[in-house]
């Protein structure tokens, strides 16, 4: 039956409007799921639901009618005899039974979606559509109806306006929103069909840890839907957004509107952009702003920006009131595939990068691929280095995919970007789930540092002033790590050449000579010795036995590192 619904929906949309043909591939996202209509009384859920079900070849059910059938009396009688709490309990159980069955079109009563358990079941088993209707239209439609217990007493318009204020922020958590007014039910049904055909559920990955779990959500336009996505996972509809001045000008208004739609009360803290802000002084500024805003322990901190904003906001969330709920909304490719996933937060010091911080996991990560369109090409390329890194560490097949699709990713192909983010995040989620706090000295999360020992040393040499982006340092560092591995006999020089060639193919500097800067081998090694990955004074590297076969080592001879750097053009 679900396959029939998919075919019918696709054909209906395509025959109505050929311009929608490219927007309406077979709607596999509906397979096996019911379609639920929510909204206030008078929105037309039953009349539109019947028409929608006929178009899709699905059965139609009305939740209120099913409740009356189960109870053996009318809804007004249930209210009169047992009260609203008893009705809501029965409503919840009936709806969960219906959703557990075969796919259908199901019209909810006006208050059903307000129940958290019902919303959770709806998210799991159905696609929800909110029929958003003006109050004036609703008043006209319910005039003269006597079967509405909530309208039995008092001014109907005043009651509907009050219900609108209370319920609309919750209805906004629906998957699809369709505005309807005085149009005919047939016209509104067409709008629903078109909206369903154009709807694509975001990709979701779960990061499962020993004591918690959270989702990484990947999709287009998530900022505008942030409130709907975050409401189920946050303890309070209050948040403080931390962002930088550049990102604020591009995306803050969209995020704030998305939060307000579902009833969030949100304010913002805007910091200067750039690596120079990633310090204890800026962290203190954020913490002071949170305390001045009188945040409670259930108030969320939302990081909107790249890795610098995410690290700072996460560290502030971890330390303010001994821990506030935290959300990552990364807006760069690098942060979407790297820093936003895994719970590492922190700041730089004069002694090195990320030496002060905490492991602090977010409640959710929202990776909106639409934000990538605002990135300069250099930022996209730098982020891509962390994607290729995932394949080099433990998935040779993924690296082969990168060799075939890397140019498309850095050139803005949205589908290639989404797939790259999904695969890179899935790899990192598996690693982080196995080693949350980097406690396994020889494998696990430590492997994610491939290229980082060299890369962090290069960043330190530049002074964290933007002269070298983190991803650019990692890109050069990955090539150096493979060259060092080949020099030590762990992998072939052909593997190292393959890594360097791929990095160069996407437009990044692939070795030290391409950076057009002279480096001191002694200075770079000095930076490495101050890296947080040093153990017992020994340099710690991630090396490789081949593509997708990374391992850690802390017994690399210093002379081998120095010899490699000098062969790469460093002076002593």
Residue 327 belongs to domain with CATH number: 3.40.50.1970
Last-in-domain residue among 322, 351, 375: 375
In Å, the largest CA–CA distance within the chain is 91
| Residue 349: strand pairing partners | 352
Same domain, 61 and 172: yes
The answer to whether residue 302 is domain-embedded is: yes
**Is residue 1 pLDDT above 60, yes or no?**
no
**Is residue 19 pLDDT above 60, yes or no?**
no
**Is residue 299 pLDDT above 50, yes or no?**
yes
Last-in-domain residue among 375, 397, 426: 375
Residue 264: predicted pLDDT: 98
The answer to whether residue 7 is domain-embedded is: yes
pLDDT tens digit sequence for 192-240:
999 999 998 999 999 999 989 999 999 999 999 999 999 999 999 999 9
- The DSSP line for 286-336 is HHHHHHHTT--TT-EEEEEESHHHHHHHHHHHHHGGG---EEEEE-SHHHH
Same domain, 176 and 242: no
Same domain, 131 and 239: no
Q: How far apart are CA 278 and CA 303, in angstroms?
A: 14
The answer to whether the predicted template modeling score (pTM) of the entire model surpasses 0.85 is yes
Same domain, 213 and 192: no
Same domain, 214 and 88: no
**Is residue 96 pLDDT above 50, yes or no?**
yes
Give me 82's structure tokens. 């047992």
What band does 20 get if pLDDT is binned at 50, 70 and 90?
Answer: very low
What band does 536 get if pLDDT is binned at 50, 70 and 90?
Answer: low
Residue 285: predicted pLDDT: 98
Same domain, 34 and 167: yes
Residue 17: predicted pLDDT: 38
DSSP element (H, E) containing 305? strand 300-305
Residue 565: predicted pLDDT: 97
pLDDT tens digit sequence for 240-288:
999 999 999 999 999 999 999 999 999 999 999 998 999 999 999 999 9
Domain count, the chain: 3
Q: How far apart are CA 201 and CA 485, in angstroms?
A: 42
**Cβ pair 454, 473 in contact under 8 A:** yes
**Is residue 305 pLDDT above 80, yes or no?**
yes
Q: Can you give the residue range of the structural domain that contains 231? A: 203-375
Looking up residue 82, the CATH number of its domain turns out to be: 3.40.50.300
The answer to whether residue 383 is domain-embedded is: no
Same domain, 452 and 495: yes
The share of the chain scoring above pLDDT 70, in percent, equals: 91
The answer to whether residue 451 is domain-embedded is: yes
The answer to whether residue 380 is domain-embedded is: no
User: How many CA atoms, within 13 angstroms, populate the side-chain half-sphere of residue 39?
Assistant: 29
Residue 143: predicted pLDDT: 75
**Cβ pair 328, 371 in contact under 8 A:** no
What number of H helices and E strands is found in the chain?
Answer: 23, 16
Residue 156: predicted pLDDT: 83
According to DSSP, the β-strands at 352-359 and 344-349 are: antiparallel
pLDDT tens digit sequence for 512-527:
999 989 999 999 999 9
Q: How far apart are CA 134 and CA 143, in angstroms?
A: 15
Higher pLDDT, 491 or 156: 491
Same domain, 189 and 212: no
When pLDDT is averaged across residues 175-183 and rounded to a whole number, the result is 94
pLDDT tens digit sequence for 465-519:
778 998 999 999 999 999 999 999 999 999 999 999 999 999 999 999 999 899 9
When pLDDT is averaged across residues 49-53 and rounded to a whole number, the result is 97
Same domain, 322 and 240: yes
472: exposed, middle or buried (C-beta count within 10 Å: 0-12, 13-18, 19+)?
buried
**Is residue 26 pLDDT above 90, yes or no?**
no
Outline where 34-134 has alpha helix (H): 45-56, 63-71, 75-82, 84-99, 116-125
Looking up residue 422, the CATH number of its domain turns out to be: 1.20.1090.10
The answer to whether residue 402 is domain-embedded is: no
Same domain, 131 and 237: no
Give me 327's structure tokens. 């959300």
How many other β-carbons are positioned within 10 Å of the β-carbon of residue 149?
A: 16
Last-in-domain residue among 173, 198, 223: 198
What band does 16 get if pLDDT is binned at 50, 70 and 90?
Answer: very low
- The DSSP line for 13-43 is HHHH-GGGGGG----GGGTT-EEEEE-STTS
Higher pLDDT, 143 or 161: 161
Beta strands in 108-256 (DSSP E): 126-132, 176-179, 203-208, 213-219, 238-244
The answer to whether residue 395 is domain-embedded is: no
Residue 24: predicted pLDDT: 34
Mean pLDDT of the chain: 91
Classified as helix, coil or strand, 220 is coil
Same domain, 171 and 264: no
The answer to whether residue 234 is domain-embedded is: yes
Same domain, 491 and 416: yes
**Cβ pair 363, 214 in contact under 8 A:** yes
């Amino acid at each position: 039956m679900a396959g029939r619904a998919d075919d019918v929906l696709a054909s209906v949309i395509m025959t109505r409007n050929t311009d929608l043909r490219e927007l309406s591939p077979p709607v596999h996202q509906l397979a096996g799921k019911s379609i639920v209509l929510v909204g206030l009384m008078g929105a037309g859920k039953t009349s539109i639901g019947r028409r929608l079900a006929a178009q899709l070849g699905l059965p139609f059910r009305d939740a209120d009618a099913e409740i009356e059938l189960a109870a053996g009396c009318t809804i007004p009688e249930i209210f009169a005899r047992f009260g609203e709490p008893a009705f809501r309990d029965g409503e919840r159980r009936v709806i969960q039974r219906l959703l557990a069955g075969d796919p259908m079109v199901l019209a909810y009563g006006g208050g059903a979606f307000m129940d958290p358990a019902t919303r959770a079941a709806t998210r799991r088993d159905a696609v929800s559509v909110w029929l958003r209707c003006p109050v004036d239209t609703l008043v006209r439609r319910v005039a003269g109806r006597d079967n509405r217990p909530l309208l039995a007493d008092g001014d109907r318009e005043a009651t509907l306006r009050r219900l609108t204020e209370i319920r609309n922020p919750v209805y906004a958590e629906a998957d699809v929103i369709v505005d309807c007014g005085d149009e005919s039910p047939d016209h509104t049904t067409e709008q629903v069909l078109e909206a369903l055909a154009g709807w694509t559920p975001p990709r979701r990955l779960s990061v499962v840890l020993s004591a918690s779990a959270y989702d990484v959500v990947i999709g287009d336009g998530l900022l505008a839907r942030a409130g709907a996505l975050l409401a189920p996972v946050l303890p309070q509809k209050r948040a403080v957004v931390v962002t930088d001045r550049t990102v604020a000008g591009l995306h803050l208004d969209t995020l704030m509107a998305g939060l307000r739609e579902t009833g969030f009360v949100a304010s913002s803290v805007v910091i200067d952009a750039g690596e120079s802000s990633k310090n204890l002084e800026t962290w203190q500024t954020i913490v002071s702003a949170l305390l001045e805003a009188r945040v409670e322990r259930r108030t969320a901190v939302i990081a909107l920006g790249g890795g610098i904003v995410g690290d700072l906001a996460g560290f502030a969330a971890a330390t303010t009131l001994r821990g506030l709920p935290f959300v990552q909304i990364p807006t760069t490719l690098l942060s979407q595939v790297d820093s936003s996933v895994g719970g590492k937060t922190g700041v730089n010091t004069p002694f090195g990068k990320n030496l002060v911080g905490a492991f602090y996991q977010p409640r959710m990560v929202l990776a909106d691929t639409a934000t990538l369109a605002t990135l300069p090409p250099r930022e996209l390329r730098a982020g891509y280095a962390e994607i290729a890194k995932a394949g080099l560490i433990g998935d040779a097949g993924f690296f082969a995919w990168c060799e075939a699709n890397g140019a498309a990713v850095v050139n803005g192909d949205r589908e290639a970007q989404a797939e790259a983010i999904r695969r890179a995040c899935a790899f990192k989620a598996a690693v982080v789930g196995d080693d949350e706090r980097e406690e396994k000295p020889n494998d696990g999360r430590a492997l994610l540092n491939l290229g980082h020992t060299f890369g962090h040393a290069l960043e330190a040499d530049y002074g964290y002033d933007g002269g070298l982006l983190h991803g650019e340092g990692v890109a050069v560092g990955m090539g150096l790590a493979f060259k060092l591995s080949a020099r030590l006999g762990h992998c072939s020089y052909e593997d190292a050449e393959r890594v360097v060639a791929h990095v160069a193919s996407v437009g990044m500097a692939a070795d030290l000579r391409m950076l057009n800067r002279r480096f001191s081998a002694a200075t770079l090694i000095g930076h490495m010795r101050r890296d947080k990955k040093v153990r017992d004074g020994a340099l710690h590297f991630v090396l490789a036995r081949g593509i997708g076969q990374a391992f850690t080592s802390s017994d690399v001879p210093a002379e081998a590192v120095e010899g490699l750097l000098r062969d790469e053009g460093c002076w002593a």
